[in-house]
Each structure stands twice: as C-alpha cells, then as structure tokens.
C-alpha cells in the first residue's frame, strides 16, 4: 500500500510541475491600470500599465484612437492617444489580450458644445441636436430613429451666402448682410454646397425633413409647443401679422429650446427631401431610421412658414413646427410665385454625425 501511495504522489507532483511550465490553457495574469479613460475634446493621451506574465496585444477599431505600442512582452506601460474631437461625444473600446485572457478599456471623449468658424470675415455657427434615439412625431403620428447632428444657429444670411458664393441673387434692400438669403433649392445644391464643402473640413448638406422638424421641436428638450420655442407665435416668429410684409434680420426673436432662431417664420426653409403627400391612405412609414424621403419627385419639402404666412392650421404655409409645404427646386427667385401663392424660402445647413 505504501508503494501505491508513493507512486500516486510522484504522478501528482509530475503533473503539477508540468502545469506550472506548460500553462496549456493559455490563461495567465492580466491586470490593467485603467478600465475607463475620459478625454477632453482636445488632442489627449493617457499612460496605461499592462501587468502580465505573457505577451500582450492591444486592438481598437476607432480611427481616432492611437497607441504608442500595439504589443509588448510582460508587464509594460504604453500611451493611448485620442485625436481632437470637433463634433459629438464619442466612445471606443480597447481590447488587451494576453494568451486566452482579454480585458477592455472604455474610452470616452467629450464633444463640443458648438461648431464655429470664420470664412471671409463672416462667422458660421452650428449648434448640436442630441439624438441617437427614437422620436415620436405628430400629424401624422410616426416614430423615427435619428442620429445626432449639428444645425445652423440661424437661417443662412446674405453675408454668409456672399462669403461663400461671392455674390447675391439680388441687389436691393433685401441684400442687407444679416437678412436671410432667399434662393431656390438648385442654387443651394449647385452654387453654395460645393463651395462651402471645398473650404471647410466638415461635410455640409441640407437637413432632411425629420432633422428639420426635430430641431424645430427642440430635440430632447421639446416642450411640445406649436411653434419653434413657444406656444405664442409672436415671441418666436415673423409672420403676416407682425412682419410688415418683409423679412427681418435673423436672431431678433426668442430662440427655441436648442438656441435656434427663426425656425418658425421669417423665411421658410428648404429640406433635402422630395415631397410626398401624407394622408390616411398614404401615411409615412410608422418606424424608420434616418429617413430621407422618396428617391425621386418634382417638388422639394419646405418647412417653417415665412413672413407672409398665416397661423391657421388649414394653411399649409403656417409657421407651426409640424406644417409641411413644397416648391419646385428650380422655382424662379423672382417672387417665388407657385400655386397661386408667393413664397420666400431660404435654408440652414446640417453637419451630420
């Protein structure tokens, strides 16, 4: 019996010693000095220590993250860097692998509260619309998922148009610098957008109809007001009863919850979508993600109403955030007469996430 016990002990000690040297399951010590890193919007870096008894590798699929070393042998320290962030808060996950053991570091970088730049002496300012969630729209009811984006603080002005294009489509009292520019959809897409996109590192476009409406509503700060920022039209809009039959300088009325001016009244605003009439028999999709409207059409959506708009619900040119209207994209800028009505239509821009 003693021989059997001695034999068993020898076998056990042999297996233990083999296990120490072999580590056949690939597991081992892996400890990280950080599980979360918070960066500012500026270019930033953080030193991370990897404690392990094996070779290790670091991986991340976010292009704004960089490493001073992507691998190492045993316990090592290396730098995790983040490039400057000029838009929204962003997150990334870094995976550290050693043998069969993996651990992660969550990286969070703050976003900017606004985007602002100067071209030819003229300031352009964009404010964030925090989204990345499902929103509910009325008239008709629909639920839509939208990504976050930035949108112009005001309607694009004569000064801003002139700074990009080099000239205005008119030369009269309507040419004053802080008045909103009045142009058709084709002028925006062929003259303004290509030039501003060649001058600035952001990518600009017209808002989709749902992006426009969400911004007018106040995004997540929505207070369910009929007009952009108030239940009282005179607080936020230039329309037929208070405008004196003319457009006014941007930013004179009260802004909405997001700090956006004149989304109700002053001039109506072009959207990127082709127009499709919504009825009980032809409602919009009940659920969709970042919808862009029909693929083709003859009319473009305009929203927000203008300085000759009325406030009655039956008038499709009224200033409420839910009112929809339309115009041909090539409509003559000489009066914008269409379907028996005059229209005065400008625009604002979006920087998408």
> Tens of pLDDT along 216-265?
999 999 988 999 999 999 999 999 999 999 999 999 999 999 999 999 99
Kindly indicate the confidence band of residue 214, based on its pLDDT and cuts at 50, 70 and 90.
Answer: very high
Residues 156 and 343: their CA atoms lie apart, in Å, by 17
Residues 328 and 255: their CA atoms lie apart, in Å, by 29
Residues 301 and 223: their CA atoms lie apart, in Å, by 25
**Mean pLDDT score across all residues of the chain:** 90
Residues 286 and 335: their CA atoms lie apart, in Å, by 37
CA 234 centroid distance within chain: 29
Read off the pLDDT of each residue in 86-91 and give the average, rounded to a whole number: 91
Residue found under tokens 């084709």? 186
Read off the pLDDT of each residue in 194-210 and give the average, rounded to a whole number: 97
* CA distances (Å), origin 288, targets 9, 76, 139, 210: 68, 47, 16, 11
Phi/psi for 63 (5° steps) reads: -70, -20
Residues 156 and 269: their CA atoms lie apart, in Å, by 10
Instruction: Read off the pLDDT of residues 19-71 as tens digits, 9 standing for 90 and up.
Output: 444 454 556 689 999 999 999 999 999 999 999 999 999 999 999 999 999 99
Mean pLDDT lowest among 22-36, 105-119, 207-221, 320-334: 22-36
In terms of Cα–Cα distance, which of 213, 235, 111, 184 is closest to 344?
184
Query: Are the CB atoms for 293 and 284 separated by under 8 Å?
Result: no
Read off the pLDDT of each residue in 84-89 and give the average, rounded to a whole number: 92
What are the helix (H) ranges across 76-192? 158-165, 185-187
In terms of Cα–Cα distance, which of 111, 71, 112 is closest to 91?
111
DSSP-derived letter for residue 255 is P
Tokens of 173: 């009292």
- The pLDDT of residue 336 is above 70: yes
Residues 14 and 5: their CA atoms lie apart, in Å, by 14
Give the DSSP H or E segment for 73: strand 71-73
Instruction: Read off the pLDDT of residues 7-16 as tens digits, 9 standing for 90 and up.
Output: 433 433 333 3
Read off the pLDDT of each residue in 75-95 and give the average, rounded to a whole number: 95
Residues 46 and 52: their CA atoms lie apart, in Å, by 19
Predicted local distance difference test score (pLDDT) of residue 315 = 65
Residues 347 and 325: their CA atoms lie apart, in Å, by 14
Residues 216 and 138: their CA atoms lie apart, in Å, by 13
| pTM (two decimals) | 0.84
Predicted local distance difference test score (pLDDT) of residue 183 = 96
Q: What domains appear along the chain, each with residue ranges and CATH number? A: 30-109 (2.60.40.10), 115-352 (3.90.1580.10)
Phi/psi for 164 (5° steps) reads: -95, -50
CA 99 centroid distance within chain: 40
Kindly indicate the confidence band of residue 331, based on its pLDDT and cuts at 50, 70 and 90.
Answer: very high
């Amino acid at each position: 019996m003693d021989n059997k016990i001695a034999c068993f002990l020898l076998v056990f000690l042999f297996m233990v010693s083999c296990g120490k040297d072999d580590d056949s399951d690939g597991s081992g010590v892996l400890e990280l000095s950080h599980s979360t890193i918070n960066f500012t919007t500026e270019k930033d870096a953080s030193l991370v220590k990897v404690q392990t008894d094996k070779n290790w590798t670091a991986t991340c699929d976010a292009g704004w993250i960089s490493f001073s070393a992507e691998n190492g042998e045993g316990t090592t320290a290396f730098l995790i860097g983040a490039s400057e962030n000029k838009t929204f808060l962003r997150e990334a996950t870094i995976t550290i692998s050693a043998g069969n053991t993996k651990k992660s570091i969550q990286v969070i970088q703050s976003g900017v509260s606004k985007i602002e730049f100067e071209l030819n002496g003229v300031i352009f300012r964009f404010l964030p619309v925090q989204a990345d969630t499902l929103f509910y729209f009325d008239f008709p009811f629909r639920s839509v998922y939208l990504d976050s984006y930035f949108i112009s603080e005001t309607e694009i002005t004569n000064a801003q148009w002139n700074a990009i294009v080099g000239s205005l489509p008119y030369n009269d009292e309507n040419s004053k610098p802080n008045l909103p520019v009045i142009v058709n959809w084709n002028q925006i897409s062929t003259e303004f957008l290509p030039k501003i996109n060649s001058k600035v590192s952001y990518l600009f476009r017209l808002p989709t109809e749902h992006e426009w409406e969400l911004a007018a509503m106040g995004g997540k700060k929505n207070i369910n007001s009929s007009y952009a920022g108030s239940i009282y039209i005179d607080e936020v809009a230039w329309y037929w009863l208070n405008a004196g039959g003319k457009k006014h300088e941007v930013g004179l009325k009260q802004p909405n919850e997001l700090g956006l001016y004149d989304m109700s009244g002053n001039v109506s605003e072009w959207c990127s979508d082709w127009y499709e009439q919504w009825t009980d028999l032809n409602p919009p999709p009940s659920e969709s993600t970042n919808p862009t409207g029909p693929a083709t059409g003859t009319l473009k959506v305009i929203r927000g109403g203008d300085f000759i708009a009325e406030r009655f619900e039956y008038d499709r040119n009224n200033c409420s955030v839910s009112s929809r209207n339309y115009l041909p994209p090539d409509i003559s800028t000489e009066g914008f007469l269409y379907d028996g009505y005059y229209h005065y239509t400008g625009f604002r821009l979006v920087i998408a996430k």
